[in-house]
Amino acid sequence: MADRTDKDVVLRLDSVDKKYPGVHAINEVSIEVRRGEVHALVGQNGAGKSTLVGIAAGSVTADSGAVEIGGARATNPTPQWCREQGLAIVYQEPALLPDLTVAENMRLSMPEHLRPAVESQISWADEILEQWSNVASIDPTTPVRELQPDARFVAEIAKALAEEPKVVVLDEPTEHLLPAAVTELFRLIAELIDAGGAVVYISHRLNEVKQIAHTVSVLRDGALVGTFAGESVTEQDVVNLVVGRELTRTYTREAARTASLADTLLEVTDFSADRFSNVDFSVRAGEIVGFAGVEGQGQREVLRALGGLTSNRGTVSLADRAVKTSSPTAALDGGIAYLTHDRHNEGILPGLSLRENASLSAFDRVSRLGVIRRYRERKITSETFASMRVKAPSPEVDIATLSGGNQQKVVLSRVLMTESNLILADEPTQGVDIGAREEIYSILREASVRGAAIIVLSSSAAELEQLCDRVIVFSRGTIAKELSGEDLSEHGIAQAVLSATSTRSRVETTLKKVTLGRRIARNDLAPAAILAAATVLLAFVAISQSDFYFTSRNFGLVLPLLAILIFFAMAQQVVMMIGGIDLSVGPLAGLLVVVGSFVLSAYRSPVGMVLGLLVLVVVAAVVGLVNWTLAVVVKINPLIATLVTYTAIQGIAYLLRPLPEGTIDPVFLSHISNKIGFVPIMVIVAVAVAVILEYSLYRTLFGIRLRATGSDHNTADRVGVRTKLVALAAYIGCSVLVVPAALLLMTQAGTGNAGIGDSYTLASIGAAVLGGASIFGGRGSFIGACFGAVLVIQINTVVQFLDLPLYWQQWLLGGLTIAAAALYSRARTLTERK
């Protein structure tokens, strides 16, 4: 170990230790990374690599030890502190917020002194992404949720390098990258090293490690095996250190060829879709066929279509029986199982155990008459995990707690447990260590020996050479060449791929041209336009029934109700931005009206009235604090938490005023109900507040952090957003926005009425959802919430003009809310798929 005063050391982990229940993840590890050095960190899945770099980046808290970056030392660093000291990290799963644009994601993670102004973030991001223009075309205004995995990694790496770090940590950076992008990454790493920076490089691809690493540290079972000069160890040395034994290939393609292949099992004829056409091929029982080609040539689309994930046409026959591929369920019922390449978004189910994740597609094997046979389920999953060498404390732990490689093994276990006739494996060894990779090859071969047909899509020509009996090369959506026998080699595959197409090796997953329809679908203000049109249509219906509708007197009656609901809708929208729903807003308004009957009573001085208003704000803030404590600190589901508050508030309000009584100062109420013509001042105030909040949502750092917290609070934590404080501000802000609504309700009641706000809870949720709010957080619009409130009031008004029973108001509101949620969800889903 070098002397601790060495000025060249830019990152030092000093005796860091971390334990999880049943696992000693990091065992007293000390590592130094020096300026001008690529320091590789290698080890099997579960060896502790990602935990160690998480500690270095402040996203994982060590039980003991210290982190030192550029001479600054901390025993409990935060992501923000690490970033400010000069550490940037690219995680194995990109730390990008799906509901923010690429530019917003990049700006959010920047250190304070490098963060651009909001108005220039798009041009700033575009300039950074331009360095990758020869391998990726990424529009900085594209929401991250619309990017495929390879494009996400390009954006994540570009973001990290833009932070001008002293040391950058790259956790499996090339798993999703095309060869051209890997070359570009290595070029940028070389530039960073030449400029005096440092890189911590984590990879299972030992050829890459040998290519760029100056120093290699090996982890095994959470402990540091040793640190070696890169030129002093061979690939085989590193493999043996990683696995703790001499590893040899025990199951290769050549050895497996001794078994003859059976008859044709899969027959695909005239298979076509948007990205491929007229694809014909067959696979025999016991055969492993590889799909190869430059990314974007249709091979992945064919695989996903066979798995039922995208619409298609043509004929698919398995074991002489036609199979429907209209959906994943239909494909699975027909004997086709699909292993996704996007483990994070399509593979694992966070919150469920390993056992539940693995058995999800094999219920027919573990159930009888629809009832799970728990013993059999545990037996089958345990045997499968043992054969896959899944490293976990127990099959009952949450899959989200596992390393990426072990998650991949569990997802593969799910596919194997279906015992399907056809297995579609999209990058099956992605994120898996060298030892587990050989095990997966062996497992896939064993499945083929049992008679299954297997199709493997891989970006690694070496993997296809070792594993496959035949390789099909795609170009421009059609089959360009087929390789077998002596032609099936790493060199032969690479040559066939490069000669099959003149298309550049670019990331094709981003939009080259953003159509008007796509811009409208992705815009959070689009629902407002739909609601405005619906409101106008209903207005014509009302006018056709009565001339009274379009009069100042009618508007004078309706607009105060509109102002109340706008404030309620905006309050609900604030907390829905972080993925919560506040059921307590209605009873809170009733409580504020009751409190107002005490603190805003007649004959008080102006100072007394101001103090009374402050009391109302404090009461509202306390309720918001209680909601936050229950939902965020105690971690009760927000619906349950706010339902508890709902009951408590209502009880307190009725305790103070069992019956409506007490007089609120009429002079004060006259100021609240003032009008300009027939338009109440509070309507103008409500619209102004909505515009300010809408501007803040997209143009201020807090607004972006609010959206980030709702988009994915775990990822937001990792990029330095203090999500608990953001959630606190959201819950308190929601409650405080109820105060002006309560003041308007006081003008209606004039006295302390505990139940006056109850009906507004569901109406506020309906207005926010109609305005485009996502119940999962991250998306929504305050202006949209305003238009949602307009439509709700319009529905209520038109129902009365049509002489319909009042319950039609609830039917129409409920039906439209459900329809709107379904429509917006479907539109966004289609946008993301395209």
pLDDT interval class at 503 (50, 70, 90): very low
Residue 801 lies in a domain: yes
Between residues 372 and 471, which one has the greater pLDDT?
A: 471
Q: Say if residues 596 and 616 touch (Cβ distance below 8 Å).
A: yes
Of 419, 434, 451, which residue constitutes the final position of a domain?
419
Per DSSP, what are the bridge partners of residue 199?
Answer: 38, 168
Q: What's the mean pLDDT in 330-349?
A: 85
CA dist., res. 227 & res. 222, Å (int): 14
Identify whether residues 13 and 83 lie together within a single domain. yes
In a domain? residue 114: no
Task: Mention every residue, 6+ apart, whose C-beta is less than 8 A from residue 588.
Answer: 620, 623, 649, 735, 738, 742, 757
CA atoms within 13 A on the CB side of 797: 28
Quick one: CA dihedral 524, 526, 532, 538, positive or negative?
Answer: negative
The token pair at 358 is: 């693995």
How far is the C-alpha of 809 from the C-alpha of 807, rounded, in Å? 5
Q: How many CB atoms lie within 10 A of CB 822?
A: 10
Q: What is the identity of the amino acid at 460?
A: S
Per-residue model confidence (pLDDT) at position 505? 42
Of residues 306 and 359, more confidently modeled: 306
Instruction: Report residue 755: phi and psi, to 5°.
Output: -100, 10
Residue appearing with tokens 């973030």: 121
Amino acid found at 557: L
pLDDT of residue 462: 81
Q: How many domains does the chain have?
A: 4
Q: Closest Cα to residue 456, out of 203, 315, 283?
A: 283
Averaged pLDDT, 133-152: 82
pLDDT over threshold 80, residue 683: yes
Among 419, 436, 469, identify where a domain stops.
419
Residues 768 and 626 in one domain: yes
State the residue for tokens 């060590």: 62
The answer to whether residues 693 and 773 belong to one domain is yes
Question: In angstroms, rounded to a whole number, what is the distance separating the alpha carbons of residues 155 and 105?
Answer: 9
pTM as predicted: 0.73
DSSP letter for each residue of 184-208 = HHHHHHHHHHHTT-EEEEE-S-HHH
Task: Enter the DSSP assignment of 632.
Answer: I
For residues 13 and 107, what is the distance between their CA atoms, to the nearest angstrom? 28
| pLDDT tens profile 735-754 | 999 999 999 999 999 899 99
- Assess whether pLDDT exceeds 90 at residue 593: yes
Packing angle of the helix pair 434-449, 235-243 (nearest 10 deg): 80
Q: Which pLDDT score, from 0 to 100, does residue 456 have?
A: 94
**Rounded to the nearest 10 degrees, what angle do helices 782-801 and 807-833 cross at?**
140
State yes or no: pLDDT of 258 exceeds 80: no
Q: How far is CA 124 from the centre of its chain?
A: 24
Residues 762 and 715 in one domain: yes
User: CB–CB of 834/274 below 8 Å?
Assistant: no
Looking at the predicted structure, is the pLDDT value of residue 342 above 60? yes
Of 404, 419, 434, the last residue of a domain is: 419
pLDDT at site 506: 44
d(CA 681, CA 566): 13
In a domain, 340, yes or no: no
- Quick one: 438 and 582 in the same domain? no
- Specify the pLDDT at position 177: 75
Which of these ranges, 9-13, 205-209, 804-808, has the smallest mean pLDDT?
A: 804-808
Please write down the HEC assignment for all residues of 579-612.
Answer: CCCCCCHHHHHHHHHHHHHHHCECCCCHHHHHHH
Exposed, middle or buried by CB within 10 Å (0-12, 13-18, 19+), for 550? exposed
Q: Are residues 547 and 494 in the same domain?
A: no
> How far apart, in whole angstroms, are the C-alpha atoms of residue 660 and residue 701?
44
Is the Cβ–Cβ distance between 289 and 425 less than 8 Å? no
Q: Quote the tokens at residue 172.
A: 């499996």
d(CA 172, CA 670) in angstroms, rounded, equals: 65
Same domain, 412 and 436: no
Average pLDDT, the chain: 85
The whole-number average pLDDT for the span 665-682 is 91
d(CA 44, CA 57): 21
Q: Judging by beta carbons within 10 Å of its beta carbon (0-12, 13-18, 19+), is residue 706 exposed, middle or buried? A: buried
Tell me how many degrees the CA angle 759-763-765 measures, rounded to the nearest 5. Answer: 125
Cβ proximity of 151 and 507 under 8 Å: yes
Q: Of 744, 349, 826, 352, nearest to 565 (Cα)?
A: 744
Domain coverage including residue 391: 350-419
Residue 160's nearest CA partner among 139, 142, 185 is: 185
Q: Are residues 428 and 413 in the same domain?
A: no
pLDDT above 70: percentage of residues in the chain:
90
140 vs 77: CA distance, rounded Å: 31
- Report the distance separating Cα 812 and Cα 797, nearest Å: 12
pLDDT, tens digit, 9 for 90 and up, residues 721-739: 889 999 999 999 999 999 9
Q: Are residues 424 and 401 in the same domain?
A: no
CA 596 vs. chain centroid, Å, equals: 43
Residue whose tokens read 């402050």: 614
CATH value at residue 705: 1.10.3470
Task: Report yes or no on 193 lying in a domain.
Answer: yes
Ranges 472-481, 537-546, 729-738, most confident: 729-738
Whether 253 maps to a domain, the answer reads no
Q: Are residues 609 and 624 in the same domain?
A: yes
Highest mean pLDDT among 129-133, 514-518, 522-526: 129-133
Cβ atoms within 10 A of the Cβ of 168, count? 24
On whether residue 137 sits in a domain, the answer given is no
**Residue 33 — left, alpha, or beta (φ > 0 → left; ψ -120 to 50 → alpha)?**
beta
* Residue 341 lies inside a defined structural domain of this protein: no
pLDDT-based confidence at 822, cuts 50/70/90?
Answer: low
User: Which residue in this structure is represented by tokens 């490069």?
Assistant: 498
**Same domain? 457 vs 534:** no
Q: What confidence score (pLDDT) does residue 153 get?
A: 84
Q: Quick one: average pLDDT of 663-680?
A: 90
Q: Cα dist. 287→257, 265, 485, 611 in Å?
A: 10, 9, 13, 81
Q: Domain for residue 407, yes or no?
A: yes
CA distance 650 to 633: 23
Cβ 295 vs Cβ 459: under 8 Å = yes
Phi-psi region of 43 (alpha: psi -120 to 50; beta: other; left: phi over 0): left
* pLDDT confidence of residue 764: 92
- CATH at residue 211: 3.40.50.300
Task: Identify whether the C-beta of residue 300 lies closer than 8 Å to the C-beta of residue 477.
Answer: no
pLDDT of residue 397: 85
The stretch 476-490 carries a mean pLDDT of 87
How many CB atoms are closer than 10 A to CB 258?
6
The answer to whether 508 touches 149, Cβ cutoff 8 Å, is no
φ and ψ of 168, to 5 deg = -115, 135
599 and 740 housed in the same domain: yes
